[in-house]
Structure 1
Amino acid sequence: MRFENIDEIDRQILQYLSANGRLSHAELGRLVGLTRAAVRERVSRLLENGIISHFTIVVNPLKAGKSLSLYFNIDVTWERMDAIAAELLACEEITNVYQMSGRPHLHVHALFDDQDHVERYLQRLRKIEGIVSVESEFLMARYKERGALLI
């Protein structure tokens, strides 16, 4: 993917950091042909400009004990949209919440320990005022997944 507001060196730095966020400035410098100080300046500028929002890790949910990944389409009333989204965000099972276009609904991703955990969570959803209906789907296979935009 190409962006107008970054040059080729910045794009390379972002690509290397996306693959391994633990690379030192010296290692990045060797990879892109710059000094450690020059790379540090570029990474600092990318952070200041908000192009890099933060550094993080990616946890493999299966290895961490979360064997079920589900997606929910949750139909809600317009007036309760924000309150329901806030309530979902407070749940430890929820990883992502999106308001979608069209009818008032939220697209939600969640991770669960097992089928019993899913059932207990669905019972909690039934008690939230303003939820009209819930559709859920189990994730069967991951072919491509990005935690953030890769350059």
Structure 2
Amino acid sequence: MNNLDTALLNLLIKDGRASFADIARQLNISRTHARDRVQAMIESGLIEQFTAVINPEKLGKTVSSFIDLKVAPNAIEDIAEDLASKPEVVSLYIMTDLQSLHIHTLTDSTETFHAFVSTHLFSNPQILSVASSSLLKRVKHRRGGARL
């Protein structure tokens, strides 16, 4: 990846719907060259998908919570897959200690969040501990993905 590719990716991160003509103008390259570079990044797997960034508050999802779980190591994959399938779970990560999950949830109320943890976390004997915090204020976030 070179400087042009990095600049091109940063433009796409900011606006995934930017036309090749707009990208070409901003980078001072031809539209064809812009299209070819994007296509090459798609084919190589560098660009996995183009997606929309949704404002959860506009959907009524105002409670953003972060959960750290300690789980029985032999159950971590199954628990991770099960929780990842829940609509409340926005992101889920298996951590390097191989017994921890870090989860971000979005719900419409604290009552809905409580119902989620009661149903899916507290009732599972393979989950050894639960710690959670809710978002107070968003200061910096990576809307649209990481910057390169």
Unaligned runs of 5+ in 2: none
- Aligned partner of 2:103 in structure 1 is 108
Residues 22-37 of structure 1 correspond to what in structure 2 (within 5 A)? 22-37=17-32
User: How far apart are the structure 2 equivalents of 1:96 and 1:54?
Assistant: 16
Alignment pair present for 1:94 and 2:82: no
How far apart are 1:49 and its partner, in Å?
Answer: 1.5
The number of equivalent residue pairs is 146
Tell me the equivalent position of 2:122.
126
Q: What TM-score do the two structures reach when normalised by structure 1? A: 0.91
The residue type paired with residue 47 of structure 1 is I
Alignment equivalent of 2:40, drawn from 29, 32, 45: 45
Identical columns (%): 32
Asked whether the 8 Å contact 2:91–2:105 carries over to 1, the reply is yes
Report the counterpart of residue 140 of structure 1 in structure 2.
136
From 48, 51, 67, give the equivalent of 2:62: 67
Residue 122 of structure 1: how far off its partner (Å): 1.4
Contact 1:84/1:128 (<8 A) preserved: no
Q: Which runs of 5+ in 1 are unaligned?
A: 1-5
Query: Which region of structure 1 is more displaced relative to structure 2, 63-72 or 44-53?
Result: 44-53
- Deviation of residue 128 (structure 1)? 2.1
- CA separation of 1:150 and 1:127: change in aligned 2, threshold 3 A: same
Q: CA deviation at 1:16?
A: 0.9
Residue of structure 2 in register with 1:18 after alignment: 13
Distance between the aligned counterparts of 1:20 and 1:104, measured in 2?
Answer: 37
Task: Note if contact 1:85-1:97 (Cα within 8 Å) is conserved in structure 2.
Answer: yes
* Structure 2 length-normalised TM: 0.93
Counterpart CA distance in 1 for 2:139 and 2:55 is 14
Q: Residue in 2 aligned with 1:149?
A: 146
The amino acid across from 1:130 in the alignment is Q
Cα deviation per residue 1:88-120 (whole Å; 9 max; x = unaligned)?
011000011111123611111100100110111
